[in-house]
Amino acid sequence: MAISKKNNKKIWYKLDLSAIVYPTLQRKDFSSVYRLSVVLKETIDPDILQKAVDIALRRFPTYKVAIRKGLFWRYLESNERPGPFVQPDIKNPCMPMPFKANNRYLIRIYYHECRIALEAHHSLGDGSGGMYVLQTITAVYLRLLGHSISTGGFVLDVDSPPDPEELEDAYMRYANAQVRPPRPGEKAYRVRGTKEPFYTLNIIDGIMSVKQVMGVAAKYNATITEYLNSVLLYALLQKQSNDWHPKLRPVKIAMPVNLRRFFPSKTLRNFITMVYPSIDPRLGEYTFDEIVIHVRNYMRYYINEKFLRGDITTNASTQKNPLIRVVPLFIKDYTVRLFYTKVQDRNSSAGLTNMGALKTPEDMKPYIERFDIYMGQPFSSRTNCAIVSFEDTLTINFASSIIEADVERYFFRKLVQDGIHVKIESNR
C-alpha cells in the first residue's frame, strides 16, 4: 500500500497474487464476477439499504476502489465518486463489469423482495472477503430499521478503523516453502453444450437440510464437502459416458480452498488456492462408493498446511522474479491470457466451492432466511457449483452459460436417490 501526493492523497493498493490474473481475462462477454446474497424475512426498503451501503462501505477501503493500469502492473485506487448505488435485481446476475462503468466501482448491490445481493469483481477479494462486506451491510441495514445487531462472525464494527492485516496480500507472507510443486497439466473432460445468448446466465438452486446431507455423507464416511464433490464427479462421469466423444478423459473439479483455515490471516482480499479432485475413467468404471473413497483420500492428502504452502510458493514465484517484474503489462496480459486459455481453463471439467456454515451474530439470525453464493459466469462452456449453509439450510447454486442442464440433473438426481429432499428453484 502507498500514498500518492497527487489527487488529494489517494490511497492505492497492489493487486494481490490471485487478483493479478482476473483483469487480464476480462473481455466484453466475460468478467470475473461472483455474487453473494442474503434472503431476509421482510421486504427490503431500498432507501434504507442505500444508507446502509454508504455507512458500511467506508469500513472496507479495498472495496471502495477503482482499478487502474500502470506500465508494469494494475493497481487499486481509492474511489470517492458517488455510489455504488443500490439497484433492483436483474434476471441474469454476474453480468460483465466494465472497469469504467458504475462510477468505476467494482461492486454492485441489488435488491428484490426480501433479498440483498452483492456482486464483486474477483480482483477485490474472494468470497470470504465479500461475505464480510455483505453481512456488515446487512447488519447496518437492520440497525437502521431499529433492530439491535451485534458485531461478530462476518459482521465488522463500522466505527472502528480497518485492521492493517485486512488489507494485506497474505500470499506473500506465506510463500516461503523450499520447493515449488509442479502443476498438474493433463487436459480434462470438457462439457459440450449449446452456448446461451450474450449475457444469459442459467441458475439452478437446490435447497435442502444440512442435517439430512450430513447424515447421508456420514453413511459414506465422508464430510459434506467430500460427499458433494463426489456427487459432482459422478454427474460429470455420467455426462461424459452418455455423450459422444472421440476418447475418454479424466473428469476434474476446480475447487478453491480457503487458506485462512490453515494460515492465520484477517485479510479481506483473495486468499485461496485451487485443488483438483479427479477421477480417470480410463482406469475402469468407478462405483459411487469408490469415487467417495478416492475423493476422501485426495482431500486428506493434499489439503493440509504443508502442501498448500508449497502451492502458494509456486504461485508466487513468477511475481517474485525480477525479470518478470519489469516486463510491460501488455506482454504480461498476453502471456497470462494465452496460458489460461490453452492450459489452466482446460485443466478442469467444472468448478465447485463450499463456503461452509456461515456465522452471524446471534441477534441477527432471527431476521435471516438463507444465503446464496454464485461463482458467476464460467470462462468456457461448463457449469460452476457453489455451496453455502446457514443454520439447517444448505443451498447448492449452479451457474451455467449453456442451455443443457444434464450435469445439474444428474447431480440432483443422485442426491434424491440417496434420500435427500431437494427443493429446486431456477431463473430459467
The 3-state secondary structure of the chain reads: CEECCCCCCCEEEECCCCCCHHHHCCECCECCEEEEEEEECCCCCHHHHHHHHHHHHCCCCCCCEEEEECCCCEEEEECCCCCCCCEECCCCCCCCCCCCCHHHCCEEEEEECCEEEEEEECCCCCHHHHHHHHHHHHHHHHHHCCCCCCCECCECCCCCCCCHHHHCCHHHHHCCCCCCCCCCCCCCCCCCCCECCCCCCEEEEEEEEHHHHHHHHHHCCCCHHHHHHHHHHHHHHHHHHHCCCCCCCCEEEEEEEEHHHCCCCCCCCCCEEEECCEECHHHCCCCHHHHHHHHHHHHHHHCCHHHHHHHHHHHHHHHHCHHHHCCCHHHHHHHHHHHHHHHHHHHCCEEEEEEEECCCCHHHHHHEEEEEEECCCCCCCCEEEEEEEECCEEEEEEEECECCCHHHHHHHHHHHHCCCCCEEEECC
What dotted CATH number matches 202-426?
3.30.559.30
Q: So what's the pLDDT on residue 39?
A: 97
> Residue 236 above 70 pLDDT?
yes
Q: What is the mean pLDDT of residues 332-347?
A: 80
Q: So what's the pLDDT on residue 1?
A: 46
Closest CA to 79 of 60, 56, 98: 60
CB atoms within 10 A of CB 323: 7
Task: Place 35 in a pLDDT band, splitting at 50, 70 and 90.
Answer: very high
Task: Place 6 in a pLDDT band, splitting at 50, 70 and 90.
Answer: very low
Q: What is the mean pLDDT of residues 139-155?
A: 97
Between residues 354 and 337, which one has the greater pLDDT?
A: 354
> Residue 30 above 90 pLDDT?
no
> Residue 289 above 90 pLDDT?
yes
> Residue 37 above 80 pLDDT?
yes
Between residues 343 and 58, which one has the greater pLDDT?
A: 58
Cell digits of residue 189 = 473432460
Q: So what's the pLDDT on residue 8?
A: 55
> Residue 209 above 90 pLDDT?
yes
> Residue 4 above 60 pLDDT?
no
Pairing mode, strands 107-112 and 87-88: parallel
2-174 with 202-426: one CATH topology?
Answer: yes
Q: What is the mean pLDDT of residues 49-69?
A: 97
Q: What is the mean pLDDT of residues 120-146?
A: 97
> Residue 303 above 90 pLDDT?
yes
> Residue 243 above 90 pLDDT?
no
Q: What is the mean pLDDT of residues 79-93?
A: 94
238-247, 302-311, 392-401, 418-427, range with the lowest pLDDT: 238-247
Q: So what's the pLDDT on residue 184?
A: 65
The ranges assigned to domains in the chain are 2-174, 202-426
Q: What is the mean pLDDT of residues 404-421?
A: 97
Over the chain, what is the mean pLDDT? 92
Task: Domain 2-174: state its class.
Answer: alpha beta
Q: Do 410 and 191 contact (CB within 8 A), yes or no? A: no
d(C-alpha 56, C-alpha 64), whole Å: 10
